[in-house]
Amino acid sequence: MNKVIPTVGRLLIRRDAQPEPSKIIHTLDRHRERAMSGVVVAAGANTTIEAGTRVVMTRYQGGGLRIDNVEHLLIEEDQIGGIIASEETMITESRPQGV
């Protein structure tokens, strides 16, 4: 297994598989940037996002690379659009204090 260690402020993200759209949808949407999700595999120094966190980023940011036949992205932390919260996290955070 190859090991990639991100430099300061960068994240290595394993991209989620994207379903192939039908030819009609693909033709209509071919120029649109789509949101993409993945899991942080490794985080460089001085990042606030930890390995194992599910994130959303835009499709064509950063550099793509293949590690052990799996697509990954190496991007800067500020290119993350959001963190995908687990259902358990969402329930805990939405409860009023003292409940």
* Percent above pLDDT 70 for the chain: 62
| pLDDT confidence of residue 16 | 83
pLDDT bin (cut points 50, 70, 90) of residue 87 is low
Q: How far is CA 9 from the centre of its chain?
A: 15
Q: Where are the domains of the chain?
A: 10-94
| pLDDT confidence of residue 14 | 92
| pLDDT confidence of residue 93 | 54
Task: Give the C-alpha separation, 94 to 92, whole Å.
Answer: 6
User: Tens digits of per-residue pLDDT, 26-74?
Assistant: 445 554 555 588 999 999 999 999 999 999 986 656 678 888 888 888 9
Question: CATH fold of 10-94, please?
Answer: 10 Kd Chaperonin, Protein Cpn10; Chain O (2.30.33)
